[in-house]
Structure 1
Amino acid sequence: MFKPLSLFLGFRYVRSRQGNGFSSFISASSTFGIALGVLVLIVVLSAMNGFERELSQRLLSIVAHGEMVTVNTPIDNWPKEVQKVQQHPQVVAAAPLIKLTGMMQKGDELKGVELRGVDLKLESLVSDITTYVKQGSWQSLAQGNQIVIGSGIAKKLGVSIGDKVQVLLPKTAAQGQPLSKKFPALLKQNYIVGGIFQFGGTIDETLAYVSLAQAAESMQYQVGQAQGIRVKVNDVFMAPQVIREVANNFNYHVYIYDWTRTQGHVFNDIQLVRMVMFIVLVLVIAVASFNIVSTLIMAVNEKQSDIAILKTMGASPPTVMLAFIVQGVMNGVLGSVIGTILGVYVSLNLTDIILAIEGLFNTKILSADVYFIDFIPSELHISDVYFTVVTALVLSLLATIYPAWRATKIEPAKVLGQA
């Protein structure tokens, strides 16, 4: 069977190297380092992809993709304005909104909250909050004096379904009056806890829902008036552009908000961690790859007489050089294959593996009280695998060039004359 001479020599040298203890150890360490770097890089990229998926599918399922809040006057006839907003091709749904900031009180306990007045039906189209109501019912808001609160608020105040709470609102904000030098009395409203939702993170600690009619009464709005409109778009990464296009065709002066302003730091943190980890792990692969330099230099020194004989028999410098390149690249290929197989397996089962580790050590890596998820997500992208493998192979190839080039500079006369 025909085999190119360079490939034949390269594979033969790889097999013969296994008999040399120290050279074999250096070669194995480079292979192990490359495999480890490829494994960890694939797993880290998959974890970052998982966090991005959870950000877009979970966190942004309850956080508004975009909001338009009026500057001074409320929106009149909000159903008409909602229909107008929904005419934009990128808008999936829209819903009215009234936002209030105040204190919730139960006995001696106080908790700062953001009250959100919503329309029950339309809010379920722009938000998945109904799926996170663990106690009580979202539909309880239809009764008017009911409130749905986060589990963090319920825990802080020590309340449960059916308990009465009091909400304290700034009277000036409620009535839209200008600020005065006197501190006005607070507007007090009583609610019955009709539902408790559990989403995770700071949202559970600060957010509460009331009906749009109840919030409008607190703001002294007329029937059909609202403070703003929440928007859900079909592509969350297009939200800043879409919400500005919608606002440009709006008949009111509004403050424009999108998720990149309110939650963009989470996405930026994910991207920063991805970049830092990628650089660090590529350097790990590079260090492991350049162990090949030591291996090949020792191989060249050991095979000087073989190289001299080959050159006297007519072997060209490219043939000799390619033989040692093949020998070195085998470390990169073997390490990449092992690392890829293990990396793909771990990435596909990362969540279960972390859960097993948490159960074994009775600990929790991510706390739902701090983060919006309590597990390590993972989403494997085949493009990340390709890119990682190509990076490892390229670094392995670059590491072989100098030792292989040195092999071509051996003078047969000097080597054979000393034999």
Structure 2
Amino acid sequence: MLDKIPFFIGLRYTRAKRRNHFISFISLTSMLGLTLGVAVLILVLSVMNGFDRELRQRILGMVPHATISSQSGFQNWPEIAEKLEQNEHIQAAVPYVKAQGMFTHRGYVRGALVNGIMPELEDKVSIMKDHMVAGSLGDLKPGEFGIIMGDLLARFIGVGVGDKVTLMIPEASITPAGVFPRMKRFTVVGLFSVGAELDSNLAVAHIADMQTLMRLDKDIHGLRLQLDDLFKAREVVWNQLQELPSNMRGSDWTRTHGNLFQAIQMEKRMIGLLLMIVIAVAAFNIVSTLVMVVTDKQGDIAILRTLGATPATIMGIFMVQGIVIGLTGTLIGTGLGVLAALNVSDFVAWVEQIMGIQFLDSNVYFISYLPSELRWGDVGVITGSAFVMSFLSTLYPAWRASRIQPAEALRYE
């Protein structure tokens, strides 16, 4: 029965109305601080995880994980593609032709990257097929000069499916009238939307049409590679270049979008650290709460000691009280954080709709909505860390209570 005394008395001290309301206020603020710190940290890390997921699925789902190209181009790409696909980490190798150009339509001008693709092979290296909002990749026919645009790009220049648009590329064509940029009229046959910056600066056409426009004959610019693990892209490309002709060169997504990924990871770590400090401050507020409780309860402690309670029993009483405060705040914060993380995307979308504003403009950010991905591993680490800090905060006040001598405490009672 003696083993249960610290538990019962500690819970009674937690529930009892104290004479000193200031102590109750400090205890409540400590609990609220833990609750808010845990909830906000879970929410913020979930949002950062969402950005990380969108980067991988949307941005890196549209851009190649890696490319193999040649300064002089190459026509024997089927042989090279077959050789590359023998690598266990390379799932597909697909040819491409690319050009930087400007689209014009009725006075509107917009720069964009135009990729020449093979529609029948595109789904091996891209998620575009799953994000078509009008038309399909199959509408790209060789010789018909059709083009598929991002919906934002089409909106900027005021075109839709079936409209004609002029593409100018920065390569000179010599004509009897002088030197002019190379131009070609395309027909918009489809629109895609991945909810990222690519919607405003990317278009695709059939590879045969781009070869004709670029005067490449049957040549291509390179091969796009789809890997089973995008974080091995640099290693895989380097190893493959050792087995290819010396005129080949490689690139991977870390050169084009690696800085964005690293920025998200760094922000996640720094924000997590800062918010963990907030949790630590709230947890160690328990120290001041328990110190004041110990001072307030010196008479009770002395009576318990005279009745036979050991220092360990007294220490256990106040540890139970501190742990209850910390555990309650942590669990409530975890529940609120999980609930907020699961619903923050819908809530922000609702606020945008009600207020008629957009918090994330796709012209500025790489996605146009607030993503969130709850990872239970993060929740476990946050909850465990908060509880451990709360537990550590109880040790000194509880030890101080166990050192109180009954004679000293009862001298002025």
TM-score (structure 1 length as normaliser): 0.89
Structure-2 residue corresponding to 1:93: 92
**Structure 2 residue matching 1:42: 3-state secondary structure:** helix
Does the 8 Å CA contact 2:140/2:189 hold for their aligned counterparts?
yes
Does the 8 Å CA contact 2:233/2:252 hold for their aligned counterparts?
yes
Does the 8 Å CA contact 2:89/2:228 hold for their aligned counterparts?
yes
Give the direction of change, closer, same or farther, for the CA distance of 1:348–1:151 in structure 2 (3 Å limit): closer
Does the 8 Å CA contact 2:114/2:205 hold for their aligned counterparts?
yes
How many residue pairs match? The answer is 409
The reply on whether 1:213 has 2:208 as its aligned counterpart is yes
Does the 8 Å CA contact 2:140/2:205 hold for their aligned counterparts?
yes
Structure-1 residue corresponding to 2:280: 286
TM-superposed CA distance for 1:243, in Å, is: 2.6
1:181-260 equivalent positions in 2, closer than 5 A: 185-223=180-218, 225-260=219-254
Q: In the TM superposition, what whole-angstrom CA distance separates every residue of 1:358-417 from its partner, at most 9, and x where no partner exists?
A: 334333332344444333222222211111111111111222222222223323222223
Structure-2 residue corresponding to 1:418: 412
Give the direction of change, closer, same or farther, for the CA distance of 1:158–1:360 in structure 2 (3 Å limit): closer
Does the 8 Å CA contact 1:200/1:370 hold for their aligned counterparts?
no
TM-superposed CA distance for 1:299, in Å, is: 1.0
TM-superposed CA distance for 1:20, in Å, is: 4.2
Does the 8 Å CA contact 1:200/1:371 hold for their aligned counterparts?
no
Identity of aligned residues (%): 39
Distance 1:149 1:79 in 2: 27
Structure-1 residue corresponding to 2:75: 76
1:125-140 equivalent positions in 2, closer than 5 A: 125-140=124-139
Segments of 5+ residues of structure 2 without an aligned counterpart are: none
Distance 1:410 1:29 in 2: 27
TM-superposed CA distance for 1:313, in Å, is: 4.2
User: Amino acid of the residue matched to residue 346 of structure 1?
Assistant: A
Distance 1:242 1:18 in 2: 67
User: Amino acid of the residue matched to residue 49 of structure 1?
Assistant: N
Does the 8 Å CA contact 1:199/1:372 hold for their aligned counterparts?
no
1:138-149 equivalent positions in 2, closer than 5 A: 138-144=137-143, 145-149=145-149
Distance 2:376 2:112 in 1: 44
**Structure 2 residue matching 1:231: 3-state secondary structure:** strand
TM-superposed CA distance for 1:332, in Å, is: 0.4
Does the 8 Å CA contact 1:149/1:209 hold for their aligned counterparts?
yes
**Structure 1 residue matching 2:315: 3-state secondary structure:** helix
Does the 8 Å CA contact 1:105/1:157 hold for their aligned counterparts?
yes
TM-superposed CA distance for 1:2, in Å, is: 6.2
Structure-2 residue corresponding to 1:117: 116
The reply on whether 1:396 has 2:396 as its aligned counterpart is no
TM-score (structure 2 length as normaliser): 0.90
**C-alpha RMSD of the superposition:** 2.5
Distance 1:321 1:274 in 2: 39
TM-superposed CA distance for 1:213, in Å, is: 1.5
TM-superposed CA distance for 1:30, in Å, is: 0.9
TM-superposed CA distance for 1:18, in Å, is: 4.9
